[in-house]
Chain A
Amino acid sequence: MAIAPVKRMEVLLPKDELEGFVSYLQELGVAQLDPLPYEELELSSSPAEVADYERWLTRINHVIQNLPELEPKKGLEKLLTPKAKYSASLRKVLLDYGYQKVVEDYEELEARRAQLVQHIKQMEREKEFLIPLTALNVPLRSLTGLNRCLVKIAEVKTEDIESLKENLADQPASISIISTEKNLAYVLIIYHQSLREEVEAIFSGYKLAFISLDHYLLKLKGDEKVSDLIAELEQQKSQAKEEIGKLEKDMSGFAVHRPSLMAVYDVLLNEKQKLVGTSLAGLTEKTAWLAGWVPAAQTDYLVRKVNQFSPTIYLNLRDPKPEERDEVPVILDNPQLIKPFEVVTSLYGLPLPGGIDPTIFLAPFFFVFVGMCISEAGYGLVMSLLSLLYLKKAEPKGGTRLFMTLFFYLGISNMIFGTLFGGWFGFPIKPLVLIDPIENPIPYLILSLALGFIQVMLSTFLSLVKDFREGNKVTAIAVKGGWLLLLPSLLFYFLLKQPPVLGILALIGAAGIVFFSSPSRNILARFFNGLYALYGITSYFSDTLSYSRILALGLSTGVIAMVVNSLVQIAWSFPFVGWIIGILIFAGGHLFNLAIGLLGGFVHSMRLQFVEFFGRFYESGGKPFKPVKLENKYIEFIR
């Protein structure tokens, strides 16, 4: 128990059945495939050519993300909607949907829209450029093609205009202001070609920015003025906007394809995964060799299913060889009730194959600690109801399901311990309260430390088991057993008026630690190293004291809940609106307290497991079991 046994799977099959077989394994979802030492076995392997699939997946995903939903759902309702279900055997049929055409058509519309948006921006820039020149109330054509004169439009600083005018006064030139705006002026300058150089020399004395209208002059049809150009731009712009509106309507018409595209996406995703699986096979000219792992509990099922699938597949299942031990994937296997607590273990890291699965040991402590850290029954009720609602409505699978179930449990824990040590939304049910930590913190502290001491002792016992299994049998029993004897005896020796029996037991335990801690042959070295090992008692002491946080955290939630309620009481006495403010403070305050309390309670209970409990015995580093199976992002495949 605890860590499920795993069998090595070896499969030989005709090469042309390989793809079908991997696809079938995906449907079964019980076997993990591993790469082989191809060169050593003189096998060839084919790289997975998944680029094409990946390109399509990105394109489809883009369309899905941009399409509106057929029946738009909001927030909570969206969260609580389960994924659409499709039969796994329909996978091939879904691909006949012609998704390529849909995606391409959509992308075409999108590209056209992007072009129009770009065009509109361009026209807006042009308009901005032309607006200062609106006052130029002559046909643009009249500015060109003059025989003797040159016409320039320029931007000048307003402060320079007067001196420019003066300088040009004795030249055959005319300057007139078209418009001014802040400290810039637009001017029209006409001068005679014969004195071009003189005039332009004057220009160079000022920072003139010449504006070229050549672009428009080329396109002139008749006697348009600048205002006509702007009007035309406006008209083009509104046409473009209209077209965008039409395009967007067409694009939202694609929403009908959304559910199918979601299904196609998941099918393609699995086709890609299939290729990845197929590429793990070692190949000869006509056969393929696959290897991997299957949970021992699933072997009969797998053998039966494979025999049904094809008679030409050779399947061998055996126990892992010693040299393969590091490769064995780890599957935690706990009773249904304990299973959600695997979340906590996995967060730290899975145990090594052949190690101890700590889940069953930490589960009761974690359950109690979270309850005692938050100790608010009302919040527990809210947590349980919300997680139950999510579990029932959204039907999550895998990790999310375990996590939500864990939350459901923690809610129950809070209802129990909240009633005993706290209240319901800050209101204690007096006859049911065992200890009120606000009035009476000392008994609650003692309870926290006692639970902590029990867990520290359990971790010492588990480290004894671990050492014993690893072969240092005598040391394990003498040293770890010594601690197990010494610490409780010492504790009760001081609690129970110092009975001599306990004193003797404590000394025996201490002797075990002193004489067996060091492997040295030298008696003296052994003795003094042993004395030093006895100093390790401080770590037991500090670990146990660390559990006092349960009191502090339990108190904080309870007191804040009380504060919220007294604020509500104050608000309630306001005239007329008092009750509204009261309800708002009640809801908001308790929600805030729930969030902060849950964060603190969860994280600190987890820390107690990871640091105080795991420290003595637990080694993580196991590889998780990753079977080839039907992955899903948007939909769910069922048998």
Chain B
Amino acid sequence: MSLGLTLAILGAALAVFIAGIGSATGIGLAGQAASGVMTEDPSKFGIIIPLAALPGTQGIYGFLSGFLVILKLGLLGGQIIQPTVQQGWQIMFACFPVAFAGLVSGIHQGKVCASGIYMVAKQPKDMTKPLVMGALVETYAVLGLLATVLLLNGIKL
């Protein structure tokens, strides 16, 4: 396997697992809060679950970027494209925005959602407001994804 291909695959792997760490930590935080609230009132499950699930999107964005790289390299069957070393570095760097924006925003979104869950516990009618708060944090993961997609799209193999 050429170095170029290896670097590109490393990029895909970084995008998936670094953003995944962000989401896993975020959902971990929100999930703890959710379970805490549900020990008092299990009937809140339905309105809490969107808040606990919201920090999960970073992982999905990372996975999605990784998948785009896989598609680009033709790893899903058919002819595997052999990028040059430079193209390999390019693909790897293109994966950085989604990976690191996802890592940090996932953790912080988890915190915002956790406090949102405490808010919903006291005021179940206001459930969309914490969701919008969470979306404020998520913007930067979305922008990271956007940059990665545009960069990947710009790299011609």
Contacts and interface: CB of A to CB of B under 8 A. Distances in A.
Interface in A584-607: 595-596, 599-600, 603-604, 606-607
A599 B134 contact: no
B60 interface: yes
B145 A556 contact: yes
Interface string B71-108: 00000100000000000000000000000000000000
B11 to A, nearest CB: 17
A28 to B, nearest CB: 26
A606 B153 contact: no
Contacts of B60: 556, 560, 596
Contacts of A607: 132, 135-136
Interface in B110-157: 128-129, 131-132, 134-136, 138-139, 142-143, 145-146, 149-150, 153
A606 B127 CA distance: 13
A347 interface: yes
Given A442-B153, A599-B54, A559 B143 contact: no
A610 B132 contact: yes
B67 A596 contact: no
Contacts of B128: 347, 603, 606
A559 B146 contact: no
A552 B153 contact: no
Given A603-B131, A603-B134, A552 B146 contact: yes
Contact of B150 (A347, A445, A611): A445
Contacts of B56: 596
A441 B68 CA distance: 12
A334 interface: no
A551 B53 CA distance: 21
B153 A556 contact: no
B135 A603 contact: yes
A610 B139 CA distance: 14
Interface string A340-376: 0000000100000000000000000000000000000
Nearest to B76: A566
A556 B64 contact: yes
A347 B142 CA distance: 24
Contacts of A551: 146, 149
B54 A548 contact: no
Interface residues of A, number: 27
A319 B129 CA distance: 35
A441 B135 contact: no
Contacts of A555: 64, 145, 149
B132 A606 contact: yes
A549 B139 contact: yes
Contacts of B53: 595-596, 599
Interface in A375-390: none
B57 interface: yes
Nearest to A551: B146
A553 B76 CA distance: 23
B50 A599 contact: yes
Query: Main secondary structure on chain B at its contact with chain A?
Result: helix
A551 B149 CA distance: 10
A576 to B, nearest CB: 22
A599 B68 CA distance: 23
Given A548-B143, A552-B146, A559 B135 contact: no
Give chain B's interface residue range (CB within 8 Å of chain A). 20 to 34
Contact of B135 (A438, A445, A556, A604): A604
A553 B142 CA distance: 8
Nearest to B68: A559
Interface string A553-564: 101100110010
A560 B153 contact: no
Contact of A548 (B67, B68, B76, B146): B146
Contacts of B134: 603
Nearest to B128: A347
Contacts of A441: 149-150, 153
A345 to B, nearest CB: 12
A252 interface: no
Nearest to A562: B67
Contacts of B132: 603, 606-607, 610-611
Nearest to A556: B64
Contacts of A559: 64, 67-68
Interface in A30-62: none
Given A549-B146, A552-B142, A552-B146, A603 B54 contact: yes
A134 interface: no
Interface string A605-620: 0110011000000000
19 contacts: A347-B128, A347-B129, A548-B143, A549-B142, A552-B143, A552-B149, A559-B64, A560-B60, A596-B53, A596-B56, A599-B50, A599-B53, A599-B54, A603-B135, A604-B138, A604-B142, A606-B131, A606-B132, A611-B136
Interface of B: 50, 53-54, 56-57, 60-61, 64, 67-68, 76, 128-129, 131-132, 134-136, 138-139, 142-143, 145-146, 149-150, 153
Given A441-B153, A599-B54, A603-B50, 12 more contacts: A445-B146, A445-B150, A548-B142, A548-B146, A553-B142, A556-B145, A563-B67, A595-B53, A596-B56, A603-B134, A604-B135, A606-B135
